[in-house]
């Protein structure tokens, strides 16, 4: 009986130590660079061994989100890449606060605008618990949900910050996203 208990104890300790084995850490930039879900803008931003000019032009503020037109120029090739950059502050606790940044590259802005227009047109048709969600390659999400006769618009910039708004704010965001897109020199 003592041998069985000793064997089980050793087995439990061995399994728990195996779970605590050191994990090889990857460079964050390398992980993002190799991810399949990144946008073209992010690929250029993280490109190694190249000279990149970054330009950020303020558009303005919608609710509590600052919007900018972002332009990356690869100075070696002359290629330009555009994106909408959204920034807000978040506070989750006294240890978890800061600025959250979301990116919609030029190819994704139309999808975000279409999502907002769909929400505007169909939000009153949603039943029970329903969600409409647009997920950008960068991780930014735009959507709305209906629950208990309440409709809510939300914008998730990153894993730390999700901002909620009245669905009556949709027109402000549509106008702003179109305004930022018009600033692109495409």
Q: Report pLDDT digits (tens) over 113-148.
A: 999 999 988 887 877 888 889 998 888 999 998 888
Q: Return the CATH number at 33.
A: 3.30.2450
Is the pLDDT score of 184 beyond 50?
Answer: yes
Domain count, the chain: 1
Calculate ∠ Cα 145-69-47, nearest 5°.
100
The pTM score is 0.71
Per-residue pLDDT tens over the stretch 70-108: 998 988 888 888 999 998 888 878 888 888 888 888 888
DSSP state of 170: H
Q: Give the 3-state secondary structure of residue 75.
A: coil
Q: Has residue 11 been placed in a domain? A: no
Which strands form 141-147's sheet, in the order they lie side by side? 130-135, 141-147, 150-156, 162-166
Q: Return the closest-CA partner of residue 67 out of 154, 181, 185.
A: 181
Q: Has residue 136 been placed in a domain? A: yes
Q: Has residue 15 been placed in a domain? A: no
Domain that holds residue 33: 28-182
Q: Has residue 1 been placed in a domain? A: no
Rounded to an integer, what distance in angstroms lies between the CA atom of residue 15 and that of residue 112? 47
Ranges assigned E (strand) in 5-129: 52-62, 65-74, 80-93, 96-105
Rounded to an integer, what distance in angstroms lies between the CA atom of residue 145 and that of residue 153? 7
Rounded to an integer, what distance in angstroms lies between the CA atom of residue 33 and that of residue 96? 26
Q: Has residue 141 been placed in a domain? A: yes
CB 104 within 8 A of CB 71: no
Q: Has residue 14 been placed in a domain? A: no
Q: How far is CA 119 from the centre of its chain?
A: 19
Strand partners, 86: 67, 102
The average confidence (pLDDT) of the chain is 80
Label residue 163 by pLDDT band (50, 70, 90): confident
Is the pLDDT score of 49 beyond 90?
Answer: no
CB 144 within 8 A of CB 131: yes
């Amino acid at each position: 009986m003592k041998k069985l208990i000793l064997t089980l104890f050793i087995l439990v300790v061995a399994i728990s130590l195996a779970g605590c084995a050191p994990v090889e850490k990857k460079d964050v930039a390398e992980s993002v660079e190799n991810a399949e879900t990144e946008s073209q803008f992010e690929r250029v931003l993280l490109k190694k061994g190249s000279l990149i000019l970054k330009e950020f032009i303020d558009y303005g503020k919608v609710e509590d989100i600052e919007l900018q037109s972002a332009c990356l120029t690869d100075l070696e090739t002359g290629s330009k890449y555009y994106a909408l950059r959204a920034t807000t502050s978040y506070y989750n606790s006294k240890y978890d606060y800061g600025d959250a940044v979301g990116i919609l590259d030029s190819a994704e802005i139309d999808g975000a605008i279409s999502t907002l227009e769909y929400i505007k047109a169909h939000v009153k048709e949603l039943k029970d618990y329903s969600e409409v969600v647009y997920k950008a390659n960068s991780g930014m999400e735009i959507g709305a949900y209906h629950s208990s006769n309440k409709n809510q618009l939300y914008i998730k910039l990153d894993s730390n910050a999700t901002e909620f708004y009245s669905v009556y704010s949709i027109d402000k965001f549509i106008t702003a996203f179109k305004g930022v897109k018009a600033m692109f020199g495409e």
